[in-house]
Amino acid sequence: MLQTNLEHITSKEQLQQVIESNEKVAVCCGRMGPMCIPVYEIFEVLREKHPDIKFMDMEFDSPDAEVIRNLPECRTFRGLPFTVYYRNGQVVKATTSIQNAKQIKEIISEVLA
């Protein structure tokens, strides 16, 4: 289990249910590594500023994380974390490796505003 203060996604069924029942969802799929931790923590800060967006995480090594690992949008990714943004159940953006707060805020403005 990831040691973050975000809500965790633990199964593919839960992810499906979350993206079906929330218009805007951001999922950071990673480990407790140096490229992933900053993204989780920025999500924690932005969660306060964007209550309309569901910010969650998922453990990269859990078998069910294949639903993120195998997304076409993540096919070329070679850097953790894989961060996926959903709107109305569809993937609207995916990023690989660390992103800083400014980059994440820009993505939110671009696809989840």
Partner 1 sequence: MSHHFDVIIIGAGPAGLAAAIYTARAGVSTLVIDQSSAGGQVKTTHQVANYPGFIEPVLGHQLAANMKKQAERYGTRFELAADITEMDLTGDAKWLKVDGETYTSKAVIIATGSSPRLLNVPGEQELKGSGISYCATCDGEFYTGKDIVVVGGGNSAMEESLMLLQHVNSITVIHQFDTLQAEKITADKVMQHPKVSFLWSHEPRGFEKQGERMVIKAENLKTQEIVTLERDGVFIFAGMLPNVAILRNTGLQMNAYGYITTNESMATNLPGVYAAGDVRDKRYRQITTSVGDGTIAALEVIRSV
R_g (Cα) of the chain, nearest Å = 12
71 binds partner 1 (CB under 8 A): no
Q: Do 23 and 88 contact (CB within 8 A), yes or no?
A: yes
CB neighbour list of residue 34: distance below 8 Å, 6 or more residues apart? 98
- Kindly indicate which of the ranges 11-19, 21-29, 62-70, 91-99 contains the residues binding partner 1, using the contact rule CB under 8 A: 91-99
- Interacting positions 15-44 with partner 1 (CB under 8 A): 31-38, 41-42, 44
Stretch that binds partner 1, among 7-15, 17-25, 51-59, 71-79 (CB under 8 A): 71-79
**Which residue, 54, 84, 61, is CA-closest to 71?**
84
**Interface residues toward partner 1, by CB under 8 A:** 3, 31-38, 41-42, 44-46, 49, 76-80, 95-98, 100-102, 104-105
